[in-house]
Structure 1
Amino acid sequence: MASDSLKTLFHPFENGALDAPAAGSHALFLGAEPGFRLPEGFEAELHCVQGFRPHFRALQSAGRNVAPRAEGDGYAMALVLAGRHRGQNEVWIAEALERVAPGGAILVAGGKEDGIASLRKRIDGLVPLVDALPKYHGIAFWLRRPEGTEAAAKLRTGNPPALVENRFHTAPGMFSFDRIDAGSRLLAENLPDGISGHVADFCAGWGFLAAGITDRFPDIKSLDLYEADFEALEAARRNVPQASGFFWQDLIGESVERRYDWVVMNPPFHQGRAAEPEIGRRLIEAAAKALKPGGRLVMVANRQLPYEAILSGAFAASQETARDNRFKVLLARK
């Protein structure tokens, strides 16, 4: 089922405000999400870009042409589905300005709660907009790609890659790209003694926890990183070169083939705005399956999330080992 933002994005085609690209042309869709249906008359070959593994897999299953990064240029049109990350939205629009042929349309849409109005104002200050339409609790706006590249350069300059604590290379759009999140820091400070053997970092992000493991436990046999965000995993390759393996994987939807002595995890607890404990439950179950008999899971979670019962059902023993005013660290043995 299409989200409201997806429906907002395609609304200008459906009401005739914007012509759909013709057969024989190519269109780029940045931030593509599954569930959309192309409007009547949209005959261009659509190239979807999606780095979040679950969405990527769903688009593939729907028969879409999808890649984790944009490629090529000379597109007749670009679609940009804006999300909650302002910097990522602006980088995507810069990408569209660089890859669409001069004069081609760039259509952007997003939800009002995600800041689409301020994004519209920002872009209109760089390239005059052709028009805008509100619909489905969001706004769609569009522009024509100018001849020059000044607007794209300004958007990229305003959203540069980051260097966290003079060590970790990150970029807008990644989880906690400009600082170490408090949950990961608490977990890193309370890793139990004795981590050894073959270790996996589930939901590894850009590699902060994995780097801490290699710093503190240099004699482990191997360290594998699993992450659903393609760009975050690419950053982790740079940030943790000592790691053994890097897996762009949907841990809920794709099985882990290797078996480990330890799994370290800071799982996401929401995909939208509301907490979704089901995500954590399924990740705990995935960790239990990936551990050898006697293997251990150490994880951090928001204090209010009821993971203790889930751990009791999936592990032989579990306990809380640390907490602060927001998070708790949990240790379990299979």
Structure 2
Amino acid sequence: MNDAPLATLLFPFERGLVDPPRDEDRVLFLGAPGGLLLPADFAGQLSAVQGFRPDYLALQQAGFAVSPEPQGESYDLALVLLGRHRRENELLLAQALRRTRPGALIAAACAKKDGGGSVRKRMAGLLPLEDHASKHHGVVFWLRRPESLEPGLVAELADGGDAADGFATAAGGFSDDGVDPGSALLVECLPDDLSGRVADFAAGWGYLSVAAAGRASDVKSIDLYEAHHASLEAARRNMAAGAPQMPVRFFWHDLLGEPVDERYDVILMNPPFHRSRAAEPDMGHGMIAAAAKALKPRGRLFLVANRQLPYEESLQKHFAAQGELRRDTVFKVLWARK
């Protein structure tokens, strides 16, 4: 989910700048990557935290104890792998402080291109750092959890706000600063005759689902599928507030790696096309294929995408009919029918 180099985080341990954990130590790893490999002398009882479903599944398959949200307290060591989103980074650092014992080591790393230097300076302004280093195109810093935390310090880190445009959002998730313009355009183009069972693929914090629930009286139920756990939790809050009467289910799900067992009359989608900074249109093609499999005969798909993405070829491959509803200077809204 992020680009922060694991090698940067492990550098102070491998160079003997800090001691690796012992067998009896409890270690919390916030933002643990799916391809996690630890040094041979890295002992301890590791609890990995990863809210991005593909990485979570990879960690689980590799045999790590992993959860989508932090659990437990009084850890002896916290490792924190940071990414591009300042608000998410500060929430992770706040969790590290909350869940370690006094005197515990907290080590965090962030890629330089993601603002690693700024994160280090921010933390140094709040708490004394033991040291820091630059290595492998990243910045790593480490500190000891104080015996007592000053009132408001953790709250200051965690106070990133969680609402925009009247909706709950999720730090680090898609469009965490408000309604995405592409999704708004898709909602404008949705027909009034939506009916039956509806699914929202790559639902984010649920904007499309809330809109569909309020727009079409014949919608019987809505299922939301999302790989980013915090976004799905925000979607729960938004559906409870914006569509409390709608039968709804939530699936923490990797649409590109896990099959969809249900079948739907309508699927709505603003498919992601970035894993990091580089555009990867194959993600959208894969989600279109997944939507085609999950639709009933004559079921309909409505999606929005950047104008330059060549999704029409996938729609022609997987659907009996397809077309365009609207486009503006940035986006296009497409439809397809099984």
TM-score scaled to structure 2, two decimals? 0.95
**Aligned residue number for residue 325 of structure 1:** 329
The alpha-carbon deviation at position 174 of structure 1 amounts to: 2.3
Establish whether residue 204 from structure 1 lines up as the match of residue 203 from structure 2.
Answer: yes
Aligned 1:255-274 pairs, distance under 5 A: 255-274=259-278
Q: Which residue of 2 aligns with 1:96?
A: 96
Q: Give the secondary-structure state (helix, strand or coil) at the position aligned to 2:218.
A: coil
Q: How does 1:138-287 map to 2 (within 5 A)?
A: 138-150=138-150, 151-157=153-159, 159-162=160-163, 164-166=164-166, 168-241=167-240, 242-287=246-291
Gaps of 5+ in 2: 241-245
Cα distance in 2 for residues equivalent to 1:254 and 1:45:
29
Superposition deviation, residue 33 in structure 1: 0.7
Instruction: Tell me the distance in 1 between the aligned counterparts of 2:34 and 2:133.
Output: 22
Q: What is the Cα deviation at residue 172 of structure 1?
A: 2.1
Deviation at 1:3, TM superposition (A): 6.5
Q: How big is the shift at 1:243? A: 4.1
CA distance in 2, matches of 1:194, 1:221: 12
Question: Does residue 35 of the first structure (1) align with residue 35 of the second (2)?
Answer: yes
Provide the residue aligned with 1:109 in structure 2: 109
State the match for 2:319 in structure 1.
Answer: 315
Report the CA distance between 1:218 and its aligned residue: 2.5
Q: Partner residue of 1:134? A: 134
After TM superposition, the structure 1 = structure 2 runs for residues 40-79 of structure 1, keeping only pairs within 5 Å, are 40-79=40-79
Aligned residue in 1 for 2:306: 302
| 4+ residue runs over 4 A deviation | none
Residue of structure 1 equivalent to 2:11: 11
The answer to whether the 8 Å contact 1:91/1:156 transfers is yes
**3-state SS, counterpart of residue 5 of structure 2:** helix
The offset of 1:264, in angstroms, is 0.3
Q: Deviations over 1:120-161 (max 9, x none)?
A: 10000001111111111111111110122233122123x132
Corresponding residue to 1:289 among 290, 293, 299:
293
Deviation at 1:106, TM superposition (A): 0.5
Q: Greater CA deviation, 188-197 or 99-108?
A: 188-197
Percentage identity across paired residues of the two chains: 54
The one-letter code matched in structure 2 to 1:128 is P
Alpha-carbon RMSD: 1.3
CA distance in 1 between counterparts of 2:185 and 2:161 reads 28
Offset of 1:290 from its aligned partner? 0.1
TM-score by length of 1: 0.96
1:174–1:232 Cα contact (<8 Å) kept? yes
Equivalent residues of 1:160, 1:171 under 8 A apart? no
CA shift at 1:4, angstroms?
6.0
Alpha-carbon distance between aligned partners in 2 of 1:220 and 1:74, rounded to the nearest angstrom: 47
What CA deviation, in whole Å up to 9, does each residue of 1:259-314 have, x standing for no partner?
00110000101111110001001000000000011111000001111111111111
2:22 maps to 1:22: yes
Q: Which amino acid aligns with 1:323?
A: R
Question: Aligned letter for 2:93?
Answer: I
Deviates more, 1:60-69 or 1:184-193: 184-193
> How far did 1:165 drift?
2.4
Figure out how many residues of one structure are paired with residues of the other and give that number: 330
Partner secondary structure for residue 261 of structure 1: strand
- The one-letter code sitting in structure 2 at the alignment partner of 1:153 is A
Q: Deviations over 1:175-218 (max 9, x none)?
A: 21221011111111111232111110001111111000001013
| SS of the residue 1:109 aligns to | strand
User: Secondary structure at the residue paired with 2:43?
Assistant: coil
One-letter amino acid of the structure 2 residue matched with residue 247 of structure 1: F
C-alpha contact 2:169 2:231 (8 A) present in aligned 1: yes
Note if contact 1:4-1:136 (Cα within 8 Å) is conserved in structure 2.
no
Q: What is the letter of the counterpart of residue 105 of structure 1?
A: L
Q: Distance in 2 between matches of 1:88 and 1:227?
A: 18
Question: Contact 2:200/2:268 (CA < 8 Å) preserved in 1?
Answer: yes
Kept in 2, the 8 Å contact 1:3–1:35? The answer is: no
1:200-239: per-residue Cα shift (whole Å, max 9, x none)? 0001111111000001013211111111111111111111
